[in-house]
Structure 1
Amino acid sequence: MIRNILEYLEATAARLPEKIAFASKEEALSFQELLTLSKSVGTFLLGYGKRNSPVAVMMEKTPSSIAAFLGCVYSGNFYTPIDSTMPKERVLSILNTLQPQVLLIDEKSKKAADYLEYSGEIVILEEISETEINNEALLRIRRTAVDADPLYALFTSGSTGIPKGVVITHQSVVNLTEWYTETFDISHQEIMGNQAPFYFDSSVKDIYAVLKTGATMEIIPKQLFSFPLKLMEYVAEKQVNYIDWVPSAFCIVANTGTLEKVVPETLKKIAFCGEIMPTKQYNMWRKKYPNALFANIYGPTEATVDCTYYIVDREFADDEPLPIGYPCRNTDIFILNGDRLADEGEAGELCIRGRCLAPGYYNNPEKTEEAFIQNPLNPHYPEKIYKTGDVAKYNEYGEIVFLARKDHQIKHMGHRIELGEIETAVNSIDLVENGACIYNTESQKIVLFYCGREATQSYILKKLRDKVPKYMFPNVMILLEEMPHTLNGKIDRLRLKEFYDKKDD
């Protein structure tokens, strides 16, 4: 029985010490090198004397950054990945919530760290990477570890403009990894082409599948996803046979006709997650890879990455949605309409129970209580479920089909976004009088309506750079004389949507 994910690394390093675990264009680490570097980082962090406390890791996306994560775990603590290109205000908001014992950076992230003007302690990986390993002290930490200890905290978009830190435990990631590697038959022969940033929960699957099985992860350079031809040439060059990407990455390849020019023969398993995969583009891929395994995977960060999956086993018309399928192992999904189960074909809120659930949000008991509630179907003993806010239904095959978000939270470019966070940022800009966002699912565009004649679109985008990540920038901006309101004084979003639909026609 695995209590700690480091057991995966140690077993694989003993079995395949020289095999490459993680590789990027500039760097590669074997399992033994990864183990050694992780233990050095862990030994250094022991000096802070804390347990089950956060360490923030702000680094470039490299094999060494994974060693930094695992070093945090060796020290008996948990890690929070922070992207060095995130806007200053967002990073400081995360650090303010976390109050980490240390901010761990690498040389390449020094400029970003200086820009933050962060008052807490900052440690540079390269300066501690040669720390002499204290195996005895690391072992003492491990002896008292339990599988309910936190492994990481990932921050998702918050409706108030303040990101929420989802705490995930070892037991949940072990549960995910065992299901994932078994279901998709991942072995040491797998070469996984990683797309997801490390602060995005989908990368968790890639990282821990590698540690368990001895597979190799190729970290695909981020810029290649803007150049689909070069991207697919890279996939071919690295002989990648497994990809688990956000649908937008698959769509850019399909929409640019790249599949007519480059079709890497090594690809055998193709999964998509993080947002709705358009069936038209899926069919373009299926046509080129008739014998590949295709999977549609769904899950919120609060349910440890994945909670349902569908291995595509029949043909779908371009206008027919792909199901999100069935619950992952050790997970129960139910669709609630109020406090009762929805009937077949009836829409309701998708709710989750099981080993996959997060304990809650870091330093945020109010939001935790709101989202993680007592199972209304079980009045007899305490049992938490997570209300996703996603609307779904069962189709005639008994498969779950995702329909929409219950509130203003959206999935855009693979990221879960609260429109309220964008609005908070926009409304803080000095020349903007008022701002409200809607999301057009057909065009997959974030639409910003705003008041304030002196605020030009370029001015708004310039100001947003330090407030929200680029993937949260509005795709369309519409200036209004005044914002429409409902009778109770709230912004009338229905009228905004109607206005945009007419304008779009």
Structure 2
Amino acid sequence: MASVLRFADSEYFLSGNFELDLESNQPILVDPLWKGTVLENHLHKYPLPVLDSKKSFCLVTSGSTGVPKMVWKEWSEIESEISFWTKDNLVQSLFQGTKKAGVFVSVPFCHLYGLLWGYLIPKRLGIPIHIEKPSKETYLWITSAPQLQKAVDAHSPLPKNAIVSGMKFPVPLARTLRDKGGISVLEIYGSTETGAIGYRDPLRQNRFQILNDVETKFFQEEGIEESELQIRSPYLSNQFFLLEENGWVKFRIPPNEFYATNDLGNGSELGWYLLGRKDRIIKHKGKRVSLDRIESEILGLSLPGEFVCVCISGESGDTIGVFGSTNLTPEEVLIRMRKDLPESHIPKLVLTNHSMPRLPNGKIDYPTITKLCSQEYDSESVFLDQKPIE
């Protein structure tokens, strides 16, 4: 069986070509947004990795740098997770409520969350799948926090229930959805490598409930108050490929070892409190804060546009920079943040622009935004949080 590159749009899955590939090839699934970009060149520069197990495939991902990574998914990992969720009473009730009308999916099938929740789980349960935005209220959406916020802002029809993943869901947005008709949200926690780790109702639970089949331990580095979550799981991918100077290099996690998620927080019998990714946590105004969490909180403010947070390093230490693609002025953004966010989450710098810098794959270009914010920070003699605001 040969590895084949597939720019996997929704038609690729809905036509049944994914299942055909699994039987005769080893598909390497790539977001169609990569086609025609410099990222596609990476994929053609060296021979594709060969997978030596039946019905295995790769999901191609990229971090903030845009460097490709191929996560090798064994079908046993996928099947284990499908079986778990389709037997779960809560998930069964959510999908059974939409058995005739079908489920609306606004996330790509070529990513693990979309593949499982938007395609494989509905298919296993016999639920029709719709990718066109509904013109009237529907029962269940497979979506994300930004997509739900856009629907709220546009006064579009909303679902009765939503399953989301991808960022820590903003509690203010969960309240808004409840107030607009009792809309409930189930948030899935995990990554392409890990599969699902836990879940929560963001309106009622501050902590994620870890799945029964997932073993956890918490590693605490000296001098850091939070712990890193490490797991062993039947849903975990034990192999992946990184693009290095001379081609694709395979890495393997020994089956009995715990996998470091790179997520910091604290765990207890009540569940896992996620602070954020290790490389996105800084010390600001004497307190360790997560830039991911601040982005989530800003989303919950319902400001027009899109906002990201970056770390700005200076002589006095690290601080927060906020970049927004919005028609608001930096002062207007800051006024709203000061009103609703804790003091430790208020940035030193807010920079606004008509557009958001992005990588060729469509993801936010954090390195460029960091550079822009750092240049602006260095050029300012008086910073925003020192200016009196009427």
Does TM-score exceed 0.5, indicating one fold? yes
After superposition, give the CA deviation of every residue in 1:47-90 in whole Å (9 maximum; x if it has no partner). xxxx2x43211254326665232221021423313314556111
Q: Distance in 1 between matches of 2:373 and 2:109?
A: 34
Q: CA RMSD in A?
A: 4.7
Q: Distance in 2 between matches of 1:253 and 1:459?
A: 20
Q: Distance in 2 between matches of 1:327 and 1:98?
A: 39
Q: For residue 399 of structure 1, what is the aligned residue in structure 2?
A: 271
1:280 aligned to 2:192? no
Q: For residue 204 of structure 1, what is the aligned residue in structure 2?
A: 115
Q: For residue 104 of structure 2, what is the aligned residue in structure 1?
A: 193
Q: For residue 141 of structure 1, what is the aligned residue in structure 2?
A: none
Q: Distance in 1 between matches of 2:180 and 2:354?
A: 41
User: What SS is found at the alignment partner of 2:78?
Assistant: helix
The percentage of aligned residue pairs carrying the same residue is 16
Q: Distance in 2 between matches of 1:334 and 1:180?
A: 23
For residue 71 of structure 1, the aligned residue among 9, 13, 20 is 20
Deviation at 1:447?
A: 12
Structure 2 CA distance for partners of 1:287 and 1:330, relative to 1, 3 Å: same
1:168 aligned to 2:73? yes
- Contact 2:64–2:363, Cα closer than 8 Å, also in 1: no
Q: For residue 216 of structure 2, what is the aligned residue in structure 1?
A: 333
- Contact 1:350–1:387, Cα closer than 8 Å, also in 2: yes
Q: For residue 480 of structure 1, what is the aligned residue in structure 2?
A: 375
1:181 aligned to 2:71? no
Q: Which amino acid aligns with 1:287?
A: D
TM-score (norm 1): 0.53
For residue 469 of structure 1, the aligned residue among 353, 362, 367 is 362
Q: Which amino acid aligns with 1:68?
A: N
Q: For residue 234 of structure 2, what is the aligned residue in structure 1?
A: 355
Q: Distance in 2 between matches of 1:67 and 1:438?
A: 46
- 1:279-298 paired onto structure 2 within 5 Å: 279-290=171-182, 293-298=184-189
User: What SS is found at the alignment partner of 1:299?
Assistant: strand
Q: For residue 30 of structure 1, what is the aligned residue in structure 2?
A: none
- 1:12-411 paired onto structure 2 within 5 Å: 51=1, 53-58=2-7, 60-62=9-11, 67-84=16-33, 88-96=37-45, 99=48, 149=54, 151-158=56-63, 161-183=66-88, 184-185=91-92, 186-187=95-96, 188-189=99-100, 191-205=102-116, 206-220=118-132, 231=133, 234-236=135-137, 240-254=138-152, 256=153, 258=155, 263=157, 267-290=159-182, 293-304=184-195, 306-311=196-201, 316=204, 322-338=205-221, 347-362=226-241, 368=251, 372=253, 383-394=256-267, 398-408=270-280
Q: Which amino acid aligns with 1:297?
A: I
Q: Distance in 1 between matches of 2:186 and 2:270?
A: 17
Deviation at 1:169?
A: 1.1
Q: Which amino acid aligns with 2:103?
A: M
Q: Distance in 1 between matches of 2:234 and 2:349?
A: 39
Name which one, 1 or 2, has greater alpha-carbon Rg: 1
Deviation at 1:296?
A: 1.8
Deviation at 1:349?
A: 0.7
TM-score (norm 2): 0.67
Q: Distance in 1 between matches of 2:148 and 2:3?
A: 34
Deviation at 1:363?
A: 5.3
- Contact 2:65–2:365, Cα closer than 8 Å, also in 1: no
Deviation at 1:307?
A: 1.3
Q: Distance in 1 between matches of 2:65 and 2:3?
A: 23
After superposition, give the CA deviation of every residue in 1:386-424 in whole Å (9 maximum; x if it has no partner). 2111112136x612121021014986799xx9x89xxxx
Structure 2 CA distance for partners of 1:348 and 1:69, relative to 1, 3 Å: same
Q: Distance in 2 between matches of 1:440 and 1:447?
A: 8
Q: Distance in 2 between matches of 1:460 and 1:241?
A: 33
Deviation at 1:166?
A: 1.0
User: What SS is found at the alignment partner of 1:277?
Assistant: coil
- Contact 1:349–1:388, Cα closer than 8 Å, also in 2: yes
Q: Distance in 2 between matches of 1:248 and 1:504?
A: 32
Specify every segment of 5 or more residues in structure 1 that has no aligned partner in the other structure, as ranges.
Answer: 1-50, 102-144, 221-230, 317-321, 375-381, 421-436, 450-456, 485-495
Structure 2 CA distance for partners of 1:392 and 1:460, relative to 1, 3 Å: closer
Q: Which amino acid aligns with 1:192?
A: V
Specify every segment of 5 or more residues in structure 2 that has no aligned partner in the other structure, as ranges.
Answer: 282-290, 300-307, 312-318, 324-336
After superposition, give the CA deviation of every residue in 1:316-335 in whole Å (9 maximum; x if it has no partner). 5xxxxx53522224222332
Q: Distance in 1 between matches of 2:13 and 2:162?
A: 26
Q: Distance in 2 between matches of 1:193 and 1:459?
A: 28
Q: Distance in 2 between matches of 1:475 and 1:182?
A: 44
After superposition, give the CA deviation of every residue in 1:226-275 in whole Å (9 maximum; x if it has no partner). xxxxx5x5253xxx422121111122233x272xxx555xx443222100
Q: Distance in 2 between matches of 1:235 and 1:504?
A: 46
Q: Which amino acid aligns with 1:180?
A: W
Aligned length: 327
Q: Distance in 1 between matches of 2:47 and 2:349?
A: 31
- Contact 1:82–1:91, Cα closer than 8 Å, also in 2: no
